[in-house]
Amino acid sequence: MAVLKAETLLSRNPLPTAAAAMDGTAPPPASSSDSRVVAFREILSRVQPSEVEAVLSGCGIPPTPEVVESVLRLSYASPAAAVRFFRWSGLSIKHSSYAWNLMVDILGKNALFEPMWDAIRSMRQEPVALSVATFVSAFSSYCSTGRLKEAIMTFDVMDRYGVPQDVVAVNALLSAMCREDGHTADAADFFDRVKAKIPPDADTFAILLEGWEKEGNFARSKSTFGEMIVRIGWDARNMSAYDSFLTTLVRGAQADEALKFLKVMKGKSCLPGLKFFGAALDILVKQKDHAHALALWDIMVTDSGLVPNPVMYNSMIALLCDNRDINSAYRLLDAMPFHGAFPNSFTYNTIFECLVRNKRAPEAERFLAEMRKNEQVPSPSNCAAAIRMFFDEYDPPSALEVWRCIIEEYIIPADESANELLIGLRNFGRLSEVRNYAEDMLDRGIKLHSSAMDKLKSAFYKAGKHESYDRIARRAKHH
């Protein structure tokens, strides 16, 4: 494996951290709160660039390599002052390779490419070893300004400066190119040009696959993945590349292809980890693709032996319920305790809402009992919907059971459920129960809607029970 991991190469700026990591020459820098660093920074920020060196010479503070590095690290926004500080401090001390690389990076990040090359040429003349970190910085600076051709030309002249064109340099340039939107194809073209001379490693392919993932190009991703397997073979340590490839397929609505590759990977003992499965499930949930999500879930749990977390379970159960696959939702619910992912209120309410929405009254009644047994209660909105559904399905006892649950479990707000209950009982002609429940609801401070009262009035008046309705109406008015 290369020194720089693909995911690191794609995400970070080469300097200052990469320079130290790659050439191993950087000592711990002085703290930014060091009084010498603060003093030098104040001079650089308030003095005109043409006067910097004179003021620095008169300040009486001697520079040290560590202080110089810390000042340079804070000077990316003022390249002219940084150059003069670097030049002045170089009269007293011998700059480290890290300080030189910082100077190259400051100039490059400010698109001062001619001075950047002057610094690189000076490094070759000084007793300071140029390293791949120097060129990594140049690659990044060129690519960040869209000058990919110049970045490639920089790679082409590395060997003239005594820095080998090895796979680490190739990977660094590929990473810099892929970091910029829409340039993975340019990176692939460069790779095709140099791969015969410089054999790629696993990181090379991982960088390209991450680039294709970023751009959503599943056709090119498949081609790169195939070449990786031919050249590198199967290796579980290369999981970041597999994750990128599979994610590209899933995001590109190529879930069938992804599942085929997962089966092959299983035979090679290269199944990905929970990170990929979680990301892939999120994508499939957003695509509302419950069939492929369930197939992926089974591979994750059965073949990989991974343990999903409660969030993943709830997401899957919600997707299955949205697609009316209630039996699969039950299966996942039953499996949760075995994986230490105990169902919560969201889990139960998602399934209960699905049963209510699909008018599966007998199952909803049983499931409500199971919920309460497991100390979970339906949400206020689910209660109101369930009462309405039970009356629609000619099951007043179950509707009354929901109301009993609301009272016993103190589920609030209860207004919607209360009004649904009264209307349901009214539709069944059970006016004496309407009167009793309405009185109790008013005692509990529950508000009766005007729309519900209009329906009750019609029924009570039609039955000749004006007084019963009027009593309820008077109390409701003053509630």
pLDDT digits (tens, 9 = 90+) for 70-121: 999 999 999 999 999 999 999 999 999 999 999 999 999 999 999 999 999 9
* pLDDT of 36 higher than 50: yes
Confidence class of residue 4 from pLDDT cuts 50, 70 and 90? Answer: very low
Cis ω on the peptide bond leading into residue 16 (within 30° of 0)?
A: yes
Confidence class of residue 453 from pLDDT cuts 50, 70 and 90? Answer: very high
Q: Give residue-wise pLDDT tens across range 398-415.
A: 999 999 999 999 999 999
The SS3 call for residue 144 is helix
Which pTM does this prediction carry?
Answer: 0.78
Mean pLDDT across 151-167 = 94
Q: Give residue-wise pLDDT tens across range 272-290.
A: 988 899 999 999 999 999 9
SS3 string of 308-331?
Answer: CCHHHHHHHHHHHHHCCCHHHHHH
What rounded mean pLDDT belongs to the chain? Answer: 90
CATH topology for 201-306? 1.25.40
Q: Give residue-wise pLDDT tens across range 341-398.
A: 899 999 999 999 999 999 999 999 999 999 999 999 999 999 999 999 999 999 999 9
Tell me, what DSSP letter sits at residue 198? S
* pLDDT of 9 higher than 60: no
Q: Are 265 and 242 in contact (CB under 8 A)?
A: yes
What 181-189 contacts at long range (C-beta under 8 Å, 24+ apart), as own/partner pairs, is 181/214, 181/215, 182/215, 183/143, 183/148, 183/211, 184/208, 184/211, 184/212, 184/214, 184/215, 184/217, 184/220, 185/220, 186/148, 187/211, 188/220, 188/224
CA distance 444 to 438: 10
CA distance 189 to 355: 55
Torsion sign (Cα): 212, 215, 220, 221: positive
Poorest-confidence range of 14-28, 41-55, 109-123, 436-450?
A: 14-28
pLDDT at position 28 is 57
Torsion of CA 394, 395, 397, 400, to 10 degrees: -90
pLDDT at position 50 is 81
